[in-house]
Structure 1
Amino acid sequence: MVRKPLPDPSPQRRQRGFEPAGGLVKAPVRAVGETRGFAVARLLTHWAEVAGEDLAGKTRPVKIGYGKGGMGATLTLLVKAAEAPMVQMALPHLKDRVNAVYGYAAVSHIHLTQTAATGFAEGQADFAPAPKVKPVPAPDPAILARAQGVAEGVGDPALRAALEQLAQNILSRPRS
């Protein structure tokens, strides 16, 4: 009589280790995006790269509606009412950038949906303001003198300037 080995009671473990979270949610995000008309999920996830920082701060993609033949889609963007005229002027450029993501002329029209600053629902139109640029403080004169001393013997002016800049960066770095 030949005995069959008993099944292992421990659950199956993956041998690859940790998986990135993006890989685990890729399929559900794509399925939800396709129900809203976004066949290319990159349009939603990387909107700032697609539209550019300026337009991405003013707009949000809402949906894409396709015609009967599947060509000539209409992209609907959510935009604040005060920003709509400026966005309207940039639509031809934006359409070219969106079509570059698809790889063909998928979007033929862009429709703007305007909203108030608070939006239709809580958090729906939460447009981020432009990031504030911090002024660069003047370097300490003692650090400048030490950096010039480091690059003192270099004959090439471009190389000397680069070494001085490197020394300034290293010497002014906060110590932790």
Structure 2
Amino acid sequence: MKQAQGGTYQAKIRRLRGFEATSNLLKDRIRTAGETRGFAVTRLLTAWAEIVGVEVAAITRPVKIGYGKGGMGAALTLLTTSSNAPMVQMQLPVIKEKVNACYGYAAISRIMLTQTAPTGFAEGQPSFTHAPAPKPAPDPAIKAEAERAAEGVHDNALRDALESLTQNFLSRAKSQRGKL
């Protein structure tokens, strides 16, 4: 191996790359963990709400994909509450179509439902909440400052965008000052 000034050639190349995104560092571990449960495409786990829709994702969770002996015609197991199971059962053809669209081919031939209680005593109880938490109301002083910054703009859409940008910037600057 070539030696460069200050260390090996590979170490020097690594230093030149700088910081890497966390997703790049964990990609292989996440894929391996997903594959042990049958998820060759981890996007099915990470973007469940985007694939099947927020309403369905709020009441279901993909648990496992089982493959037959030939490798084609996999079975997807979904976890849902017993009260939501009949509604999910009616939507299975649509869910199967959306999941297969994620894979890019007809990977899933059937979907099985597993029912669970919505609450329980067990640790690690599944959570069926996907909806993002509502944003808190902006600080009135920051909102007033944002309105002042955008008051000369005549285009409504541009003015709203500028106010939003200013509010985000001032809120972030305020939170950064609070951490110091």
Length-normalised TM-score, structure 1? 0.70
Gaps of 5+ in 2: 136-146, 171-180
Identity of aligned residues (%): 56
Give, in whole Å, the separation in 1 of the partners of 2:153 and 2:21: 44
- For 1:60, the equivalent position in structure 2 comes to 61
- For 2:113, the equivalent position in structure 1 comes to 112
CA radius of gyration, larger in: 1
Give, in whole Å, the separation in 2 of the partners of 1:7 and 1:92: 59
Map Cα deviations across residues 146-166 of structure 1 (whole Å, 9 max, x no partner). x7x975xxxxxxxxxxx2454
8 Å contact kept, 1:119–1:126: no
- For 1:19, the equivalent position in structure 2 comes to 20
Shift of 1:121: 3.8
Gaps of 5+ in 1: 1-5, 135-142, 152-162
Shift of 1:114: 0.6
Count how many residue pairs are aligned between Structure 1 and Structure 2. 151
8 Å contact kept, 1:64–1:74: yes
Shift of 1:122: 2.2
Secondary structure, counterpart of 1:75 in structure 2: strand
Q: Quick one: which amino acid aligns to residue 61 of structure 1?
A: P
8 Å contact kept, 2:49–2:130: no
CA 1:58 to 1:37, structure 2 compared with 1: closer, same or farther past 3 Å?
A: same
- For 2:70, the equivalent position in structure 1 comes to 69
Give, in whole Å, the separation in 2 of the partners of 1:86 and 1:59: 11
CA 1:49 to 1:164, structure 2 compared with 1: closer, same or farther past 3 Å?
A: closer
CA 1:24 to 1:167, structure 2 compared with 1: closer, same or farther past 3 Å?
A: closer
8 Å contact kept, 1:119–1:125: no
Q: 1:27-176 residue pairs with structure 2 within 5 A? A: 27-118=28-119, 121-128=122-129, 130=131, 151=154, 163-167=155-159, 176=170
CA 1:55 to 1:167, structure 2 compared with 1: closer, same or farther past 3 Å?
A: same
Shift of 1:170: 5.1
CA 1:171 to 1:91, structure 2 compared with 1: closer, same or farther past 3 Å?
A: closer
8 Å contact kept, 2:75–2:110: yes
